Amino acid sequence: MLIGFAGLGRMGRPMARNLARAGHEVLAYDPVLAASADDQGLAPDGVRLVRSVADLAAAPMTISMLPDGATTRELVTGRDGLCAAGVQDGHLHVIMGTVGPTLVREVAAAAAERGVQVVDAPVSGSVSLADAAQITTMVGGTEEQFARVGPVLAAMTKMQYHTGPVGSGSTAKLAVNAVLAALNQGVAEGMLLAEAGGLDTAVFYEVLSTSAAGAPYVGYKSDAFLSPAEIAVSAPVSLIHKDVSLALDLAAEQRLTLPGSEAVVGVLDQATAAGLGEEDMAQVLAALRLLNASERPSNPEGTNAMNDDVEQIRELEDRRYDAIVAGDFDGFAKLAHPDLAYTHSTGDTDTLESYLEKCRAGFYDYHRIDHPVDRITVVGDTAIVVGEMNADLTAGGVQKTLANRCLAVWVRSGGDWKLLGYQPTVVPRS
């Protein structure tokens, strides 16, 4: 079957690839990659990149795996969306991103007026499970629609559950992730308590995973909690923050109080403020460490070591900015963690690979960077740098002057500090 797929992010990329592996012809559109659609090397194996949403209209079925409700609504019912692109009669669109049941039903109603059917089928599972087509999907739609999408979903997922009418899949997903986020925070708090009591955290984690609290999530997240710098991000803090916030919105609509989810989102707020938004959700442990650092007894013997770390991080900040201005991209790469999440003031986020590719191609050409540092906080093997990033550069052929507040996250990996995350915020003009 010819299938249109929108959204080639962490989860969307392996899902689109699995569709192609199952024998489907897949046309893929991604807002970030649209301008580079001629470079088919950017697409997953067997998938053909297209330049616009309109190029997906030839398919009788389209799927979206987009990060938020606004981009999903625009894709389906926007001015240049699927409904405006002349799709075939009976076209079916499957919303697989987590955007909440209210928005799903609104989009479905608006699309139905223009002859387009919409179902929701959000998924539960990690990137590695998506890669192996072992994720679970919860489908909201009619029995006929569920029968129609079932074989397609089976190419990407292990289990497909029909939860009821359109929007019900999203309700189920938010309920699942409310539980997941609470479990994630519970594991982090248990780890923190074990550390404070002097336990070997690896031994404690093994105990936890085989105890009454040993849910499957606890088992497969062991590396994320014990060795976060050594593994790829599976589900970032920003994503679970979005999902729990949507769950609280739904609870408010139903006049429910969810004290556990409210506590969880408070910690996720703190993690985001600490610059951990694009780190794995297990890094709420780092946020809790930072939160509790000021309340721990001082350790005079550790003061000199911490001061040495602070000065080393300060030097590394100088080196990474100098390397970018000088065009020494190999030098920058040596300072960066392989899982670097480099966010720009436009809101776009690059991986290490994509950022270096753009710099080497001249898309980003930095002429000047000033980066005064306000403070550096080191807790264990994580360092948070708070400061400014003021720069003159050319981005995509456009001259720009930046004035940003920024957060940088460094982690100690293999004995060396590596840049793991960078997040700027534009300073409003007075």
- What amino acid positions are annotated as catalytic residues? 173
345's tokens: 């003031």
The H or E element that residue 213 is part of is: none
392's tokens: 């003159």
CA separation for the pair 109, 276 (Å, rounded): 37
The H or E element that residue 279 is part of is: none
In sequence order, which residues have a C-beta less than 8 Å from that of residue 250 and are 6 or more positions away?
100, 101, 102, 171, 174
Residue type, 309: D
CA separation for the pair 200, 219 (Å, rounded): 17
CA separation for the pair 49, 33 (Å, rounded): 8
Q: Which residues pair with 407 in a beta bridge?
A: 386, 423
The H or E element that residue 171 is part of is: helix 168-196
Q: Number of helices (H) and strands (E), helices first, in the chain? A: 15, 16
**Burial of 205 (C-beta count, 10 Å sphere; 0-12/13-18/19+):** buried
Calculate the alpha carbon distances from 63 to 12, 92, 112 in Å.
10, 9, 16
- Tell me if 389 sits within 8 A of 409, measured CB to CB: no
240 phi and psi, to 5 degrees?
A: -70, -30
Calculate the alpha carbon distances from 288 to 28, 177, 215, 251, 271 in Å.
39, 20, 22, 26, 8
Q: How many CB atoms lie within 10 A of CB 315?
A: 11
DSSP assigned state of 231: S
Stated length of the chain: 430
- Tell me if 134 sits within 8 A of 125, measured CB to CB: yes
